[in-house]
Amino acid sequence: MNDKLISRHFLLYILTCIGSIGIAAAQPIIIPIETHNNALVLQADKGKDVSIIYFGRKLSGNAEYSKVEGVYKQPGDYTGMFNAAYTPSGSRNLLEPAITVTHADGNTSLDLKYVSHTVTKVADDVSLLSIVLKDPVYDFEVTLFYKSYFKQDVMEQWSSIKHKEKGAVVLQKFASANLYLKAGSFYLNQYHGDWAREMEPEESKLTHGIRTMDSKLGTRANLLMPSCFMISLDKPATEDEGNVLYGSTEWSGNFRTDFELDPQDNLRIIAGINNYASPYTLQPNEAFTTPPFLYTFSDKGKGDASRKLQQWARNYKILDGKGTRLTLLNNWESTYFDFNETKLAALLKDTKKLGVDLFLLDDGWFANKYPRNDDHAGLGDWQENKSKLPNGISSLVKEAQTDGVKFGIWIEPEMVSPKSELYEKHPDWVIKQPKRDEYYFRNQLVLDLTNPKVQDFVYGIIDTLFIKNPALAYIKWDCNAVIYNAYSAHLKNQSHLYIEYVRGLYKVLERVRTKYPTVPMMLCSGGGGRVDYAALQYFTEFWPSDNTEPLERIFIQWEYSYFYPAITSSNHVTDWGKQPIKFRTDVAMMGKLGFDIVVSKLSGNDLAYCQEAIKNYDALKPIIWQGNQYRLSDPRESSTASVLYLNEAKTAGVIFNYLVNYRYGSGSKLPILVKGLDATKNYTLKEIDLYPGTTSTIDGNKIYSGEFLMRIGFNPDTRNDRTSVVVKIEEAK
């Protein structure tokens, strides 16, 4: 279907749904939520229970969804609510609930009945369904929200909980979403990791009972496990085949996702904020709104699902998703904490020489009483260190301007070193148990962002930097510690700490973005400890891992790319590993390119290579950032990894190819099938990013049809003396 047709179809669908239906349910009410390819169909039955009766590829007419249940002959459901749209507990439920409460009178039962539903059109191709549910006994109400992005088949689901009881209600569990899938079997592809080994995938068949993925780390919540996952139906999906659901929670703190294979062999997914140590006391008339749980579904495999998610992210979610980004030179690995104005002046000149847009000054520029000369002191004291930078940041920003480059700076504003003036002045601003020994993560503690004074302080760090240096062009926002000894001197109710921390963080980021809406900010968390789609509303990019060894990066970036588009992935060329500069740079080009090397120590050829590669990158970046990504050859299955970024018109693209297995004779013996091209167009393939003095073995003048390249393929000719091959593909006119 072309775009116009999609919109017309969508409009028609909206027109049939708009309005509010609130009549007593004499007949079951069918509520289909349709996107371009998929449907989630809810039903409010005669007893006003709301359940999920279908999820998957949509039917051409809505009339038949009510027949779906009849063709399943699965064993009985004693409760009649295994497929509840939002499972309450304490009444007849026997499985994992989405919501558990203790009412003002101490009662722990909840039942939720259909009251009404409304569909509103939010924007072209975006609609919002809300369903109001009420407890028939208590004055307690939940509204379920389903925001559908028609073209990209993406859904965001969340809930809003409120009540008018005589006193506070305690929410013991408060999921964002409750899904229900039917298939013969289910395969969960989840991720785990740690510092420098983020996004390690594991796939397993789900068995009966509950598998929980969660985080209890508070900050940098993804360090050990991110909330993103894939569920394949019937058999593990491959890149181009199979039914697969991608999901993740838009929340930068503790999350929890339960996968419950129920007694009927169906899969219940319940996702949201982790209720671990977090019962939430909700006052009458206060609304508790859960963060969105995001998902997309494809019956064409993982590649299609990821392209849809990436498109959605660029169009609707990430800050400046359709905009541009800055290439940069960072000084972290070239100087660590050991720098001064003379060294930095030379690095500014190197930034220009290299040909990137910006110089990024990393950790170590601040604190005087306890100077930040290593990672044991100074966090919290955000004044320039007088011996390293006697003339301050502003003189560096000016110098950068003279050199014709922009200037950016590293901060870690949520943290405090025990050895800092901030800690001495405000021990009550620090998250720590008053009666217990302090326990550190990277020698530091977390500030109590639940406290509005701390929020003002953190906001002030950024605001002051910009007030003093209006030309400051980039912020790297780091977060290197988890929360231990969770206790806030500010909060009355300690079980609100994990939730209020994240809310406090968002309040600060909201203020930053109100005053500085466009300045690019990198979300870093000792590597990839934090990225999620709530945070990416405030950040233009993230730092996937401190591990920049390029072979490792091929795998790390590969996995992240299923969930996040290349424009958000900050990839820096560093000295990690033994790969040549060409390999390192080519790998970093598959995202937002940066460098963290000693430019002055590069050989003439290495420097010339980098300068040329940056020029190539500048020409190709619109395609890498905004184009469609096709994974052509999987590094886990083949000795060559191959990834294509192709423009929407299918007329230009770039294919990155890397040898990932160095055994004797390894290489691309067989051609690699290209994807996504127009079969009727003709194309040329030209190798770029050639190291000085080398020539390509690929004939750039040969013309291939799209059909040929997709059916027979092309050969990048990777081998031990051609470990990294970048190929530009262009329509031949």
Residues that bind ligand GLA (CB under 6 A): 332, 362-363, 375, 410, 478, 480, 524, 526-527, 543, 546
**Closest distance between ligand GLA and the C-beta of residue 569, in Å?**
14
Coil, helix or strand at residue 611: helix
Q: For residue 694, how many other CB atoms are within 10 A of its CB?
A: 13
Shortest Cβ distance from residue 362 to ligand GLA (Å)?
5
CA pair distance 442, 273, nearest whole angstrom: 26
Specify the long-range contacts of residues 388-396, CB closer than 8 Å, at least 24 apart.
388/339, 388/340, 388/341, 388/364, 389/340, 389/341, 389/344, 389/365, 390/341, 391/341, 392/468, 393/361, 393/365, 393/465, 393/468, 393/469, 393/472, 394/468, 394/469, 395/341, 396/341, 396/344, 396/348, 396/361
User: Least CB distance from residue 337 to ligand GLA, whole Å?
Assistant: 8
* Smallest separation (angstroms) from ligand GLA to the CB of 459: 21
Locate tokens 């116009």: which residue?
A: 4
Q: For 316, which DSSP code?
A: I
Looking at the Cβ atoms of 237 and 446, the one nearer to ligand GLA is 446
Residue 526 CB, nearest approach to ligand GLA (Å): 4
Nearer to ligand GLA, 37 or 574 (CB): 574
* Residue from 483, 480, 484 nearest 442 by CA: 480
Nearer to ligand GLA by Cβ, of 68 and 196: the residue is: 196
**Among residues 168 and 196, whose Cβ is nearest to ligand GLA?**
196
Instruction: Indicate the residue among 174 and 410 with the shorter CB distance to ligand GLA.
Output: 410
259 or 365, CB closer to ligand GLA? 365
Find, among 84, 39, 28, the residue nearest to 62 by Cα. 39
Shortest Å distance, C-beta 330 to ligand GLA: 8
Closest approach, Cβ 542 to ligand GLA, in A, equals: 11
Task: Give me the count of residues in the chain.
Answer: 733
CB of 546 vs ligand GLA, minimal distance in Å: 5
Burial 290-300, CB ≥16 within 10 A → b, else e:
bbbbbbbbbbb
Phi/psi of residue 455, each to 5°? -60, -45
The residue of the chain with the least Cβ separation from ligand GLA equals: 363
Angular region, 120: left φ>0, alpha ψ -120 to 50, beta rest: beta
Amino acid identity for residue 37 in this structure: N
Quote the least distance from Cβ 480 to ligand GLA, whole Å.
Answer: 5
Distances (CA, A) of 452 to 65, 463, 491: 50, 16, 11
**Judged by CB, which is closer to ligand GLA: 480, or 579?**
480
Identify which of residues 214 and 375 has a Cβ nearer to ligand GLA in the complex.
375
CB-nearer residue toward ligand GLA: 292 or 544: 544
**Torsion angles phi and psi, residue 706, rounded to 5:** -60, -40
CA–CA dist 130, 147 (Å, integer): 9
Helices (H) and strands (E) in the chain, counts: 12, 37
